[in-house]
Structure 1
Amino acid sequence: MFTGIIEELGKIDKIEVNQGNKDFTIQAQFTNELKIDQSVAHNGVCLTVVDISEDKYKVTAIEETLNKTSLNQLNVGDLVNLERGMKMNAHLDGHIVQGHVDQTAICESIETKNGSWVFTFSYDPKLMNVTIEKGSITVNGVSLTVVNSKPNAFSVAIIPFTYEHTNFRHLKEGDTVNLEFDVIGKYVKRLMDLNA
């Protein structure tokens, strides 16, 4: 379980194809604090540490994960948002994030707003995921508040700290991002659908 509060940006050092899977070697400052079999969220995708060497560690994304997330579009040198699993005695500063991506979205526009930025994303409504105004959404692993909620799109306002300390500053119009919708909202929607 995660909170959506990004700890640092990791750099993709190497990508190896292994049958239908990809092994990603990530360079990160907190590598010396990791252990084998630990969960780390990469752009919001929970992956397991399988190897550690100096300031780099390796994770494997299976074919299912590659097909349902934007990880398949990563290249060597790309920066990824990293978060280690939540400590149960720590503050929950973001919201409950599972690290299970529901679907991807496309960055439709980026608007500068006198010291902040508004990013608008569109997603396929056929998967029946929903956002609500002022509700929580996870974009590339970052816990954010929804503004301008629509059936297939939403916007988020990004403060300077988030812009500087995540890969939001590298996003461009047309880029694909990972979305995890609010887990509580998903359960409520499921119960309503069952009772409809």
Structure 2
Amino acid sequence: MFTGLVEAAVPVRAFVKRGTGARLILPAPREEDLALAPEAGSWGGATSDEPWEAGIGDSIAIAGACLTVAELLDPPDGAKKPDMAFDLTQETLDRTWLAALEPGRIVNLERALKLGARLGGHMVSGHVDVCGHAVGREDVGDGGAVFTFEVPEGFERFLIDKGSITIDGISLTVVSPQGRQFQVAVIPHTLQRTHLGHLAAGDPVHLEADLVAKWVERLVVR
């Protein structure tokens, strides 16, 4: 499980197709890549007294898609920690936009939530429901921005005003849902420390509906 609070944003080191799948290689986050300030607390994020560590078998949400560290590679010149390698299946490539990754593209990272840690966002599974896309961005005077997104037909039933939604691994609040479109207000910190700051109109995004909403629907339908 995850919280939707991004810990770091890093550039893709390599993305290589392998048969029907692919291998993704990411660098371990540097201090300047970490999205959480030292005062963020001990809920499980990267803090000054708990530096980023990841081992083989660890679950990490990459742009909201839960992947497993398959291998730790020797650090490249100048790096202090090993690179992380992830193997992607055909199912993952089909259901996400990760097949479009290329070296240098920035992606959000979050390690799995620790038992007993503070839940700062909302419960996130890391299982992408659908891919939507950005429609537009309006910058606001405080350095933040309001984004408009569009979702595939059928997903709009999960767009609840002031409800939670995960966009590329970020816990955000739905504003003004109208049909298949909705907005989110993003603060300057989130723009600066996640890959939302690089998002342009037309770009695809991973969407995960609120787990509570999905379970309620499941129970009602049954």
Shorter-chain TM-score above 0.5 = yes
For residues 127 and 112 of structure 1, the distance between their equivalents in structure 2, rounded to whole angstroms, comes to 26
For residues 203 and 187 of structure 2, the distance between their equivalents in structure 1, rounded to whole angstroms, comes to 20
TM-score (norm 2): 0.84
Counterpart in the other structure of 1:109: 136
Counterpart in the other structure of 1:181: 209
Counterpart in the other structure of 2:92: 65
For residues 178 and 94 of structure 2, the distance between their equivalents in structure 1, rounded to whole angstroms, comes to 25
Counterpart in the other structure of 2:123: 96
Q: Secondary structure at the match of 1:124?
A: coil
Unaligned regions of 5+ residues in structure 2, if any?
31-50, 76-81
Unaligned regions of 5+ residues in structure 1, if any?
none
Q: Deviations over 1:34-84 (max 9, x none)?
A: 110110000000000001123311001111111111111111110100000
For residues 153 and 97 of structure 1, the distance between their equivalents in structure 2, rounded to whole angstroms, comes to 21
**Among 96, 99, 113, the residue aligned to 1:86:** 113
Counterpart in the other structure of 2:40: none
Counterpart in the other structure of 2:2: 2
One-letter amino acid of the structure 1 residue matched with residue 106 of structure 2: L
Counterpart in the other structure of 2:33: none
Q: Secondary structure at the match of 2:154?
A: helix
For residues 13 and 110 of structure 1, the distance between their equivalents in structure 2, rounded to whole angstroms, comes to 28
For residues 191 and 151 of structure 1, the distance between their equivalents in structure 2, rounded to whole angstroms, comes to 24
CA contact (8 A) 2:169 2:206 kept: yes
Q: Secondary structure at the match of 1:10?
A: strand
Alignment of 1:1-196 (within 5 A): 1-29=1-29, 33-53=53-73, 54=75, 55-115=82-142, 116-126=144-154, 129-194=157-222
For residues 91 and 151 of structure 1, the distance between their equivalents in structure 2, rounded to whole angstroms, comes to 34
For residues 99 and 35 of structure 1, the distance between their equivalents in structure 2, rounded to whole angstroms, comes to 18
* More strand as a share of residues: 1
For residues 4 and 126 of structure 1, the distance between their equivalents in structure 2, rounded to whole angstroms, comes to 23
CA contact (8 A) 2:164 2:172 kept: yes
One-letter amino acid of the structure 2 residue matched with residue 175 of structure 1: D
Query: What is the aligned residue count?
Result: 194
Q: Secondary structure at the match of 1:189?
A: helix
Q: Equivalent pairs: percent with the same residue?
A: 38
Question: Which segment is superposed worse, 170-179 or 129-138?
Answer: 129-138
One-letter amino acid of the structure 2 residue matched with residue 34 of structure 1: A
One-letter amino acid of the structure 1 residue matched with residue 17 of structure 2: V
CA contact (8 A) 2:156 2:180 kept: no
Question: How far is 1:89 from its partner?
Answer: 1.6
CA contact (8 A) 1:95 1:143 kept: yes
